[in-house]
Structure 1
Amino acid sequence: MFEGPRKRVLIVEDEAMISMLIEDMVLDFGCEIVGPAARLDRALTFALQEDIDIGLLDINVDGSVVFPVADVLRFRGIPFIFSTGYDFRALPERFHGCPTLSKPFSYENFADTLRMALASASNASEAV
């Protein structure tokens, strides 16, 4: 689905069934999985230490918000996509305009959002 080397996708999701579905989709796209992380501390470790091309971040992970992980990824210049079953319009101002998937999302919607986020990041890095 994507050109060049295999993309590494950080998955942060605390619902096991949803995580497995996302993992299947990511593998279908020819990407590698980093994680998955079902807790904030594990997600932060991955975000700080792993080679990642993009993150897929459930906003509410085991009762904690995932925003510190998003902050780390942003600092590292790594794009991310939020996913949530809640109202994504309640995102903190610093994350307005970030790609967000509303659960449940379709395979096609996920693929399109992933493709656009990676293309956006690629275009931004080429402009630098």
Structure 2
Amino acid sequence: MTTDHAPLCILLAEDEMLLAMMLEDRLNISGYRVLKAARLAKCMELAESAPIDLAILDINLAGEASFPAALILRRRGIPFVFSSGYDEQDVPEAWRNENILQKPYDSRQLNAALTGLLAV
């Protein structure tokens, strides 16, 4: 976790480059520091060892599910939200109780999800 004076760090796992860049800009403007991962291996590496406070995980990272990274974050006690274009019934039952930002989402929905994570 970061100190009280450092900006909160978010792991952003998103494989769509333009969306990742747009989200990074939004998050930076909101005062967050962003670490990006477009592939599951990098996401898991960052989830395991990076000093992150929150995470936004696209469920499908270039054809690989991000659930293994979510397990790492859960073990570390780092709150996360999934983002997905899938319908809820397409998400494995074990993960349906997690917060999911349904794509496409806007800044208001993103901010609400992050506020919810910070309240945990």
TM-score (norm 1): 0.86
Q: Identity of paired residues, percent?
A: 37
- 1:90/1:27 Cα in 2 relative to 1: closer, same or farther (>3 Å)? same
Encode CA deviations 1:65-93: one digit per residue, 9 max, x unaligned: 00000000000000000000111333233
Q: Structure 1 stretch 84-93 or stretch 66-75: which is displaced more?
A: 84-93
Q: Which runs of 4+ in 1 moved over 4 A?
A: none
Q: Normalising to structure 2: TM-score of the pair?
A: 0.91
Q: Which moved more, 1:84-93 or 1:19-28?
A: 84-93
CA RMSD of aligned residues (A): 1.4
Q: How does 1:59-98 map to 2 (within 5 A)?
A: 59-98=59-98
What is the CA–CA distance in structure 2 between the aligned matches of 1:83 and 1:114, rounded to whole Å?
Answer: 12
More displaced stretch, 90-99 vs 10-19:
90-99
Q: Deviations over 1:25-60 (max 9, x none)?
A: 1112101011x1111101010001101101100000
Q: CA deviation at 1:4?
A: 5.9
Tell me the secondary structure at the aligned position of residue 10 of structure 1.
strand
| Partner SS, residue 94 of structure 1 | helix
Tell me the residue number matched to 1:16.
Answer: 17
Aligned length: 117
What is the CA-CA distance between 1:95 and the residue it aligns to? Answer: 2.1
